[in-house]
Amino acid sequence: MFHQEGNKIILGMLTFAIIASILADIFILNNYIKYSIIGACMVLLFLVLQFFRNPKRDFSLDQNVLLSPVDGKVVVIEEVFEKEYFNEKRLQISVFMSPINVHVTRYPTAGEVVFSKYHPGKFLVAWHPKSSEENERTTVVVKSPSFGEILHRQIAGALARRIVNYAQEGDQVTQSSDSGFIKFGSRVDVFLPLGTEIDVTLNQTVKGGITVLASK
């Protein structure tokens, strides 16, 4: 199964791979060069298909836990001052996604979307200290009955050139449902109330909509 955001890119890459392979087979006599071109086309197609995959998962929804919004590795767990929405200290958990991770962004909790904003910006590497403030990004806040307001922020990286955000203010959303998609790499930050019990550790591998980040 593939995510809808990849439909045009997959179709374009498939068309390119077929045409390039046919032309190589017709016009290139050197077998080594010919099959190298065909092989490269197949590898590129495979990478695009892998990037936009959207595997079916059995989600266990629970309003007493916050789930990871994305697949990846936990690279930050720290207390920070969040100045875009809360203007106060919060616990930040950041998950870095490599190009081989599933890139669907999911709601970590159910509730009402009370804030959703897109910010154009730079494309610094996702682990750069200023990427959360200077890169292209979207900020979404969901008001949860159990945890209060939970903010998650999609941040573009050096490869990412398109952030898709489905959240609209006033929406009633379900935990683990699609919040958006980041095309080709990057990271997601989640901001939690101080005192929230954290259930992950640094460098832990997490799965979107499956791994519990924090609990009551």
What is the tens place of the pLDDT at every residue in 121-178?
Answer: 776 665 555 666 778 889 999 999 999 999 999 988 766 557 889 999 999 999 999 9
Q: Are residues 211 and 178 in the same domain?
A: yes
* 194 in a structural domain: yes
Among 23, 28, 59, 66, residue whose Cα is nearest residue 41: 23
pLDDT surpassing 90 at residue 206: yes
pLDDT confidence of residue 98:
85
Q: Are residues 94 and 9 in the same domain?
A: no
* 35 in a structural domain: yes
Q: Are residues 131 and 24 in the same domain?
A: no
* Structure-token pair, residue 149: 């307001």
Q: Are residues 45 and 70 in the same domain?
A: no
How many distinct structural domains can be found in the chain? 2
Q: Are residues 45 and 85 in the same domain?
A: no
Q: Are residues 95 and 149 in the same domain?
A: yes
- 3 pLDDT band, cuts 50/70/90, is confident
* 123 in a structural domain: yes
Poorest-pLDDT segment among 100-104, 158-162, 205-209: 158-162
Q: Domain containing 22: what range?
A: 4-51
Q: Which helix (H) or strand (E) holds 192?
A: strand 186-192
pLDDT confidence of residue 180:
94
pTM for the whole structure: 0.85
Q: Are residues 26 and 99 in the same domain?
A: no
Q: Are residues 35 and 71 in the same domain?
A: no
pLDDT confidence of residue 50:
85
Poorest-pLDDT segment among 41-45, 98-102, 135-139, 156-160: 156-160
pLDDT surpassing 80 at residue 183: no
Q: Are residues 142 and 202 in the same domain?
A: yes
186 is catalytic: yes
pLDDT surpassing 80 at residue 120: yes
* 56 in a structural domain: no
Beta bridge partners of 66: 214
Strand order in the sheet with 65-67: 65-67, 212-215, 197-198
The active-site residue, picked from 21, 68, 94, 186, is: 186
pLDDT confidence of residue 159:
61
Poorest-pLDDT segment among 21-30, 75-84, 125-134, 149-158: 125-134
Do residues 152 and 190 make contact, with C-beta atoms less than 8 angstroms apart?
A: yes
* 175 in a structural domain: yes
Poorest-pLDDT segment among 19-33, 56-70, 148-162, 181-195: 148-162
